[in-house]
Amino acid sequence: MHNSPHPRPRLRGLLAAVGCVALGAGLLAGAGSATATPTAGKSEAAAGSKVVGYFTEWGTYDRKYYVKNIETSGSADRLTHINYSFGNVTGGKCAMGDAYAATDRAYTAAESVDGVADTWDQPLRGNFNQLLKLKKQHPDLKVLWSFGGWTWSGGFAEAAKDPAAFAQSCYDLVENSQWADVFDGIDIDWEYPNACGATCDTSGRDSFPKLMSALRAKFGPDYLVTAAITADATDGGKIDAADYAGAAQYVDWYNPMTYDYFGAWEAAGPTAPHSPLTSYDGIPKQNYDTSATIAKLKGLGVPAEKLLLGIGFYGRGWTGVTQDAPGGTATGPAAGSYEQGIEDYKVLKDKCPATGTVGGTAYAKCGNDWWSYDTPATIAGKMTYKNEQGLGGTFFWELSGDTADGELIRAIN
């Protein structure tokens, strides 16, 4: 029915089909409160306390996850920032993703944040108007517009040729007078600078800092500028392909996508948790774990307070699995509600409850299916790690994967 981009979790399984073997390090991007240059009027969250959740533009379709659900689940009280995903990147410029979902869809009273129905003649409807209503109820909540993502990252190669023109286009779109009060900043989700994702980029190691520098110059110190970045900590891998340390001075924070390390795009297995906190005996690939990612970025000189810890509110799974412990063989991806090999936490917690833990995350064996996902208990362990490392906070993909009463986001807090 709609042309919205699918998030990285949805397209992962297609990678083998398109012949592009991508590192599973992530989905999306981040948000923040200005740490580099605090300004009067911007309430600053204490170090380590940022909680950034992705809200997907297309979630209002099949998932029927509305901005109102952020409120009714209790998530709005716990979030510091929302990353609205995704805007497109095309022709070297920032562009609207799905205009109908963003600004046109009429919400009924029952669907609306404040219980007031949209009218045919109001100037702004859609997700953007609902976000305005949510911000009225939560004045400290900040919203960033996230651009790119797995599907639309191919546009950054063109944008990198003229960063100033790109930054101007993004500013003009984010600050469009029709929705000027919705957004407090911009998040860039380029998968991946000078490396391969759904497409391959050869713009050079310095293209990312040039792009982020142009965005900071245009948006200035009062806006948030953040980025979701790869979690590939291997030698010569995706972190090494771009100058993330050099660009750190321009961002309020990074969201290293510390999930999707492993998944059923490797159809025969071995089974492995998609978001391990630490390595473990038998992990299929070294430096494919959260602590390796954080250690590598800190070692390059990225300040700890500019790194947020990434959590997936979903699981990844295989079928045709006989072995309970990780490392088993499989015959392909397990069935999922919207895509093979992936399922929301809110479904998995009942459908395939966790049977064990490995590398600081959980796994579950039910019938012939094997899943891995984070639970409130494993998130608590990751929060201990986040605090020990002095990280700036936590981000997650994405809000609709949580239970109706916000079980996972409560574990973050």
- Among residues 127, 151, 182, 148, the alpha carbon closest in space to that of 399 is found at 127
For residues 285, 288, 289 and 295, what is the CA-based torsion angle, rounded to 10 degrees? 120
For residue 89, give both structure tokens.
């990147």
Q: Within its chain, how far is the Cα of 252 from the centroid?
A: 16
What's the maximum distance between 2 C-alpha atoms anywhere in the chain? 61
* Cα four-point dihedral sign 345, 350, 352, 358: positive
Tell me how far apart the alpha carbons of residues 258 and 23 are, in angstroms, rounded to a whole number: 11
**Distances from the Cα of 227 to the Cα of 149, 324, 412, angstroms:** 11, 37, 21
Cis, peptide link before residue 107, omega less than 30° from 0: no
3 state SS of 186: strand
Tell me how far apart the alpha carbons of residues 334 and 370 are, in angstroms, rounded to a whole number: 8
Catalytic-residue membership of 111: no
Residue 148 region, left (φ>0) first, then alpha (ψ -120 to 50), else beta? Answer: left
Question: 373-377, long-range: CB within 8 Å, 24+ apart, which pairs?
Answer: 373/274, 373/275, 373/312, 373/314, 373/315, 373/316, 373/345, 373/348, 374/275, 374/311, 374/312, 374/313, 374/345, 374/408, 375/345, 375/349, 375/411, 376/407, 376/408, 376/410, 376/411, 377/411
Q: Which of 191, 343, 398, 407 is catalytic?
A: 191
Return the residue matching tokens 């590192």.
Answer: 23
Q: Which residues are tagged catalytic?
A: 191
